[in-house]
Amino acid sequence: MSDEARTQAAFTPPGAAPKEPPGARHLARRRYEAGVWSVPLALAPSFLLAALLGVPTPLEPLVEAVMQLTPVALANVVLEALGNFARTAALLGAIAICLPVGGLMALAAPDSPIDAPDGQQSDSLALRRARWATVAALALGVSVPLALGSAYAWEAVSALLAGALFLPALVLVRRAQARIVYPIRAAARAGDTSRRAFLRRAAGSVVTVAGAVALGTFDLWSGAIGAVVGRGETLRHLFAFTPPAPRQPGFPLAGEEPEVTPVARFYRISKNEADPQILPAEWSLRVTGAVNRPLTLSYADLLALPRVDAYVTLRCVDNPPAGHLMSNAYWSGVSLAALLERAGAHASAVGLVMRAPDAYDEIVPIAEARGPTALLAYGMNGATLPWKHGGPVRALVPGFYGFKNVKWVEALEVVTTATTGYWARRGWTAKYLHSIARIDVWHARAGGLEVGGVAFTGARGVSAVQVRVDGGAWQLARLNAPALALDAWVQWRVELSLAPGQHQLTARVIDGGGIPQDAASTNIYPDGSTGLHTVTVMV
């Protein structure tokens, strides 16, 4: 009699008839359960490899696929609700998809010896080997699409590694089932209903969930591992930077956002569940296409070129009129116009395609790329650019929504025929920023309220901000003028005389050309939202 069979017999209640061998459905459930438990164990080494090498996890293509299949309206709700945690949630969702896939693959495995009387299996040795080979083939087959969809060679390797490790992980889990889980359950059936026994019975599921959560927080712990092995981010000061003092009295209003957003508070949105981590020494830029002199520049080459500094506000296309996916910083970098001139861009050029290593690309009109503040930015608020904001180098083309300002840019291609970028190929039509005036704070004062916020019109400038009460006449607000730059937001404030009670406040901005903000309310998809920000206040 095998050890497993003795264990099963040992937990048969005294005087009770020996239990019948488990039925086919019960055996399938055991195999499925083992497959689910094996998934985090198989993924863990591949996630560790990705962290060591600074590449995304092998599940990045799955996350990407889920994002594309998610209705835009639902994706925007999730993004607004979860903020920066949305990326972790996306990875957890991908892992959750993998768990039942692992269970289904494990159904092809042979039964454990404990599932047969006296440990004797009806399947021949050849058949058992064939079933194990089938599991291995299925696991590798699942990993191949992930490898093919990877943006990095080592990301593809980690995907294949996860597939190769599923079979050994399943074998280990099946042994744990036979030696630990089933005896514990047998003890429970024999009358051991203690709290400790219950916890032991739940151990497999708890470990699986804990493993999935640990993998899902990859973006948090991978940075620490990278730092230990020498891939950590080292930011350095480029020059002393202090945000400028207000140009008008009374600014900023208490509780209002700072005029220059600290780097730690600058909004962050990414299509990736794990962003590229590129060291400056590893970064290079290629300038190709319709140019006379193709260029290849290193990070040191870029820093040796004349530096341009500019205040530029970025706004995410997912940002509604009341949203806070908008921030302002002092950027440092190299003029795109100077770089295009150095490469000898052809007169027939119509656009500049910018590409990143995460399979992301966008295009901007060549005239905009030649703008005075269009940069290849390597600095932010006087320090080098962090990874999470596109470091070591990102593109910065004012006037466009944030997604046009490609992070981790590594290639520029001058084109003579218009093409579409990553998000345009997915149905988005948004390009240039819509004007926005946002109400951020309001404070009681004698006879009413003082109200403040920010206004932004892209590259068109802000000429005025107006506020109305309960749908009445528009009242002019004071601006913290002159603005830091044409491409930067402007703080505003107004004092309102209000009777006690409830009121509705609405704000709008007038751009530099005298055009008021669009009052029509539209959805974020596909062209970015429009409409006026309205809040309800009590005096």
Residue 15 lies in a domain: yes
Does the predicted model carry a pTM greater than 0.85?
A: no
**CATH number for the domain including 402?**
3.90.420.10
pLDDT tens-digit map of 509-537: 999 999 999 999 999 989 999 999 999 99
Of 426, 449, 477, at which residue does a domain stop? 426
Q: Is the peptide bond before 168 cis (omega within 30 degrees of 0)?
A: no
Residue 370 lies in a domain: yes
Residue 482 lies in a domain: yes
Number of residues that make up the chain: 539
Q: Domain residues for 103?
A: 3-228
Q: Which residue has the tokens 């916020």?
A: 453
Q: Is the pLDDT of residue 267 over 50?
A: yes
**CATH number for the domain including 479?**
2.60.40.650
Q: Do 487 and 459 lie in a common domain?
A: yes
In 10-96, the DSSP E strands lie at none
Exposure string over 335-345, b if 16+ CB within 10 A, otherwise e: bbbebbebbeb
Coil, helix or strand at residue 268: coil
Is residue 402 a contact partner of residue 312, using CB atoms and an 8 Å limit?
no
Percent of the chain predicted with pLDDT > 70: 88
Q: Do 362 and 297 lie in a common domain?
A: yes
Q: Do 45 and 184 lie in a common domain?
A: yes
pLDDT for the residue numbered 271 = 83
Q: Do 169 and 143 lie in a common domain?
A: yes
Query: Between the CA of residue 15 and those of 10, 12, 124, 211, what are the distances in Å?
Result: 12, 8, 34, 41
pLDDT for the residue numbered 510 = 98
Residue 119 lies in a domain: yes
pLDDT tens-digit map of 399-454: 999 999 999 999 999 999 989 999 999 889 998 999 999 999 999 988 899 999 99
Q: Do 421 and 274 lie in a common domain?
A: yes
Q: Is the pLDDT of residue 178 over 50?
A: yes
Give me the amino acid identity at 351: G
pLDDT tens-digit map of 337-379: 999 999 999 999 999 999 999 889 999 999 999 999 999 999 9
Q: Do 362 and 278 lie in a common domain?
A: yes
E strand or H helix at 409, and its extent? none
Residue 350 lies in a domain: yes
Q: Do 294 and 418 lie in a common domain?
A: yes
Q: Is the pLDDT of residue 16 over 60?
A: no
Total number of domains constituting the chain: 3
Q: Do 13 and 109 lie in a common domain?
A: yes
Q: Do 421 and 466 lie in a common domain?
A: no
Is residue 335 a contact partner of residue 306, using CB atoms and an 8 Å limit?
yes
Of 426, 444, 460, at which residue does a domain stop? 426
| Cα Rg of the chain, angstroms | 30
Strand order in the sheet with 462-469: 475-476, 462-469, 502-511, 533-538
Is residue 8 a contact partner of residue 114, using CB atoms and an 8 Å limit?
yes
- As a whole number, mean pLDDT of residues 301-329 equals 96
pLDDT tens-digit map of 272-285: 877 888 999 999 99
pLDDT for the residue numbered 261 = 97
Strand order in the sheet with 478-479: 436-445, 448-456, 490-497, 478-479
Confidence of residue 18 (pLDDT cuts 50, 70, 90): very low
